[in-house]
Amino acid sequence: MLDFPNAKINLGLYVTAKRPDGFHNLASCFFPVKWCDALEIVTAPELAFTMTGLPVPGDPETNLCLKAFKLLQKDYNLPPVHIHLHKVIPMGAGLGGGSSDAAFTLRILNKLFELNLKALDLENYARQLGSDCAFFVQNKPVIASERGDVFRPVLLDLTGYTCVVVYPNIHITTAEAYGSITPKEPSCAMDLLVKQDVHVWKNVLKNDFEKPLFPKYPELPQVKEKLYAAGASYASMTGSGSAIYGLFKGEAPADLVFPHHYVVWKGLL
């Protein structure tokens, strides 16, 4: 069975408190974008995991796809499978690509073996694999709180906007980013912030990770400025970086170019 795990962007991201378990509480709007990996799972004589596309750092044994399989296998005595991941979404980018692979592994296994797990059950497995993973089970725009794994639906229509995501080839690990932050409550509730018009977001909707990371990586504010100069209604870093996105009403300008070593994705929301 084949599926296409997609990335997400964060529309606003406030790190509100450090938790006793070492994680942080946050407030953010998670929004799916159609930049995708490809993931195929078939039954096989023995468990196998293969990868093509972008090289994924670390031991393949620790890949989130295998972790997701093993987590379900503990409870459901699953037969062996061959998992193939074609990696496209950049890592260390704040796009949630690895988390999406993990959640899609759970979703595919649920269908392939007719486990009949409901979305809430899948979310409970997903949050054991990473904070961002649970979002990709339902994969719809939400306001996220707590570790980023508790959701409220949000009505947010960005139809007609083009999203340009720029990955400047700087790998920022999530732990490094959280380590550089001083938590504080946002001045206004996330729900109210995203309900405002997109062109107002520039003045009100922030990603808290920009403050510590922009001075450290000066290319990042330059990318953001370039997106605004090209006419973006809103531009921001996503998650813990380093990818920066711009939202353009209608089409993005064709002459918007970045250095060759950057990776750029463009798509309708």
Ligand X SMILES: Nc1ncnc2c1ncn2[C@@H]1O[C@H](COP(=O)(O)OP(=O)(O)OP(=O)(O)O)[C@@H](O)[C@H]1O
Catalogue the active-site residues.
Answer: 8, 132
How many Cβ atoms sit within 10 Å of the Cβ of residue 75? 10
Q: What does each C-alpha distance from 86 to 6, 101, 182 come to in angstroms?
A: 12, 10, 36
Least Å distance, CB 16 to ligand CDM, is 10
Helix or strand holding residue 26 (H, E): strand 24-36
> Could you say whether residue 97 binds ligand X (CB under 6 A)?
yes
CB neighbourhood size of 265 (10 A): 20
Picked from ligand X, ligand CDM, none, the partner binding residue 97 (CB below 5 to 8 A depending on kind) is ligand X
Only one of the segments 40-48, 87-95, 120-128, 217-225 lies at the binding site for ligand X (rule: CB under 6 A); that segment is 87-95
Q: Residue 230 CB, nearest distance to ligand CDM (Å)?
A: 25
8 A C-beta contact, residue 135 and residue 149: yes
Contact (Cβ atoms closer than 8 angstroms) between residue 47 and residue 65 = no
User: Is 91 annotated as a binding-site member?
Assistant: yes
In the complex, the residues that contact ligand CDM under the rule CB under 6 A are 10, 13, 23-24, 26, 28, 94, 96, 99, 130-132, 147-148, 174-175, 178, 239-240
Applying CB under 6 A, does 32 fall inside the site for ligand X? no
12 lies in the binding site for ligand X (CB under 6 A):
no
261, HSE (Cβ side, Cα atoms, 13 Å): 5
Q: Among ligand CDM, ligand X, none, what does residue 153 contact (CB within 5–8 Å per kind)?
A: none
> In this structure, are residues 265 and 165 in contact, taking their beta carbons and an 8 Å threshold?
yes
- Tell whether 126 is in a known binding site: no
Question: Annotated binding site for ATP, which residues?
Answer: 90-100
